[in-house]
Amino acid sequence: MVARHRAAGGARGGSVVGRHRARAGVPEGHAVGQHGTRSVVPSDAGKSRGQILARGIVSSLAGKMVGLAAPLLITPLAFRSLGAERYGLWMAVTSLTSMALFADFGLGNGLLTRLARLHGTGERRAAAREISSAYAILGALSALLLVVLVGTLRWVPWPTLLSAADPAVARDARPVVLLCFGAFLVNIPIALIQRVQYAQQQVTQSNLWQAGGSLVSVALVYAAVTTEADPVLVIAAAVLAVPVVNLANSVCYFGWQARELRPRPRLVRAPVARGLLRLGTRFFLLSLLTSVVLNLDNVLISRVLGLPAAATYAVVVRMFALLTLFVTLVNMPLWAANGEALARGDLAWVRRTTSRMVALSAAVVALPGGALVFLGNDVIRVWVRTADFPSVPRTLLVGLAAWSLLLAVVAPLFMVQNSIGLLRPQFVGWAACLVLAVPLKIVLAQRVGLPGVALASAATYALTVLPAAVIGYRRVLTGGTPGAPTASEGRVVAAVGTAR
């Protein structure tokens, strides 16, 4: 999404940051501070930003390892305590909440984009208005959905829908639904603290709190199981830990660390809320589009080659999905860092860091991906531990390795575009990929089998999404407009505009 110019006489040429600085009347080497004042950009700002980014990447990887380990520790404890049917009931409800991962309608991403730029320009009062407006929107949404949940809980036949045969398990169905969905809905606004901390480049702090939530969850479940607590309390210990820790993080951050950013009803502004909703909606729609493109393969394979082939493909894809997961973790801290750098006019840092992150992301995927090409069948045999799993053609492994490598190379380019809300090139690329990939995958699946689907994924991605990513990246540096607001005391100006 490229925002329209809001100021008369705005220059049409030059870079994003150059025109932004020209409109603000800020010479090179300066940034717009709070209330429109100027502040000299420290000469070592790029070095400090790079150090923060490096710490954020390391803490993201460490935090994710803790996050992945927590379910591995909780599962055997909970399964023995709850029993197979009650545990299955819990997992069924959890899967329903997982389908609502876009419940914030992209507002978290929109807030991250706008706050990162305000952090770069030093406009703390404007940032407080953004935060207050975001909490107001998601708080109202969460409250409304909670009322709907409580109001319909007795009338929806949850025991029947969840196939609870045991009468004791059936009695627990509604309390489990209330716990899982309630915790999920309450966490929607509370989880905004993670976006706020990322935007302020306090990535390590945010990751430590998230890892703490995982550890608290393990500790509470262990305590509930060892004390032979009621099964519903065991589930409550698991699902309530994350929102409780996010709440504690919010209280500590807004109560002591950044009191000037604390959400306040009097700081909520309708123009700011509308700007957040516009940008958030675009992020939401883009997330839906990418989710369809990335998750359509199993549906196509099951229709063309049958369910056994879809099962085989799903297992192999999950193996490579770990690589792309780490790429996401490595690049996520880059989002806010780019926004702050662009706000300060530090284009050299953006170019240099993006090139390095492209190389790092490619290496993170290429080395293990190459190993999986040659050792993939051995890894699957050890992992799945069944003699019934068919041998995977090497061409399938090559196709998935190439596709994963392309995802890794493109990720840093998208982080630059996301940092100013430039989403149109991404929409075009992913839409073109969807239109081209579906018929090509069907044809190649019929003629080549599973390797054809993987090769089609890599080829269509290279032909559509990769060029769109490069074009969008260059547009940020040479020809777009910032997708974040600037503000002065007591009034809101230059809210995010509509797409051209």
Alpha-carbon gap, residue 170 to 415, rounded angstroms: 46
Q: Taking all residues of the chain, what is their mean pLDDT, rounded to a whole number?
A: 82
pLDDT at 345 over 50: yes
pLDDT of residue 100: 59
Alpha-carbon gap, residue 202 to 333, rounded angstroms: 9
Lowest-confidence pick of 17-21, 98-102, 235-239, 372-376: 17-21
DSSP 8-state assignment for residue 211: H
pLDDT of residue 412: 95
pLDDT of residue 481: 46
Judge contact between 186 and 243, C-beta under 8 A: yes
Alpha-carbon gap, residue 130 to 429, rounded angstroms: 30
DSSP 8-state assignment for residue 200: T
pLDDT at 480 over 80: no
pTM above 0.75, yes or no: yes
Share of the chain above pLDDT 90, in %: 46
3-state secondary structure of 21: helix
pLDDT of residue 3: 38
pLDDT at 109 over 60: yes
Name the token pair of 93: 């409800």
Contacts of 142 (CB under 8 A, 6+ apart): 185, 186, 188, 189
pLDDT of residue 310: 85
Contacts of 279 (CB under 8 A, 6+ apart): 1, 106, 109, 110, 113, 114, 421, 483, 496
pLDDT of residue 169: 86
- Rounded average pLDDT over 303-313: 85
Angle made by CA atoms 407, 296, 278, in degrees to the nearest 5: 70
pLDDT tens sequence across 54-67:
888 888 878 878 88
Beta partners for residue 30, in sequence order: 40
Judge contact between 235 and 178, C-beta under 8 A: no
Beta partners for residue 486, in sequence order: 493
pLDDT of residue 140: 94
Which residue type is seen at 161? L
pLDDT at 497 over 60: no
pLDDT at 341 over 70: yes
